[in-house]
């Protein structure tokens, strides 16, 4: 697997990946079913954010989107169904944390829905995690996400060697799953 920043054309490929997923994945990623206008807004925002892609033989199979915001950056991760459970999400998450730190952020936030098992599994392995409510998303188009659950990763207390030590049970209990 190769990881690198996405070009503007590859951002369009990321959109195509997102448009091709089933409704369940769409709801897990965006919190609602997306319209063409929503995808247009997502792509417009993606062009202004840092996008890191994972390529399998030059084919985009996953990406991290990082929206900088002084103290607290926001990230979104996506991995195609056929490439999940191979460490790609973890690698993209680590890169997103590195980018956020380099941009001066102290926290990296990621939106998670109750049914998003992959994101909850990733979060469960992470040291320095808290769960809280957050306002409007810088990445996700559409409805206000103020009532959604956000995972906040404390970048100041998350040394690389302990990033993935929390248990899934702790996160699920905290999120009342």
Tell me what pLDDT residue 57 has.
94
Residues of the chain with pLDDT under 50: 159-172, 176-177
CATH number at residue 118: 3.40.630.30
pLDDT tens digit sequence for 61-97: 999 999 887 778 888 888 998 998 888 988 998 898 8
**In the chain, how many domains are there?**
1
Contact status, residue 147 vs residue 132, Cβ threshold 8 Å: no
Provide CB contacts within 8 A for 84, sequence distance 6+: 118
Tell me what pLDDT residue 166 has.
42
Q: Is 116 helix (H, G, I), strand (E, B) or coil?
A: coil
Tell me what pLDDT residue 135 has.
61
Q: How far apart are CA 175 and CA 16, in angstroms?
A: 31
72-79 vs 107-112, strand pairing mode: parallel
Tell me what pLDDT residue 169 has.
44
Which domain does 64 fall in, by range? 2-174
């Amino acid at each position: 697997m190769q990881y690198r920043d996405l070009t503007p054309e590859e951002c369009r490929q990321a959109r195509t990946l997102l448009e091709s997923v089933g409704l369940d994945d769409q709801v897990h990623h965006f919190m609602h079913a997306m319209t063409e206008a929503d995808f247009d807004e997502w792509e417009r925002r993606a062009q202004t954010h840092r996008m890191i892609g994972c390529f399998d033989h030059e084919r985009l199979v996953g990406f991290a989107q990082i929206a900088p915001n002084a103290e607290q950056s926001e990230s979104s991760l996506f991995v195609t169904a056929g490439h999940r459970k191979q460490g790609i999400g973890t690698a993209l998450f680590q890169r997103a944390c590195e980018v956020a730190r380099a941009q001066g952020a102290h926290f990296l936030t990621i939106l998670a829905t109750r049914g998003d098992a992959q994101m909850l599994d990733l979060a469960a392995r992470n040291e320095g995690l808290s769960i809280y409510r957050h306002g409007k998303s810088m990445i996700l188009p559409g409805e206000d996400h103020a009532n959604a659950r956000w995972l906040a990763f404390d970048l100041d207390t998350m040394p690389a060697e302990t990033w993935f030590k929390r248990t899934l049970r702790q996160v699920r209990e905290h999120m009342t799953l």
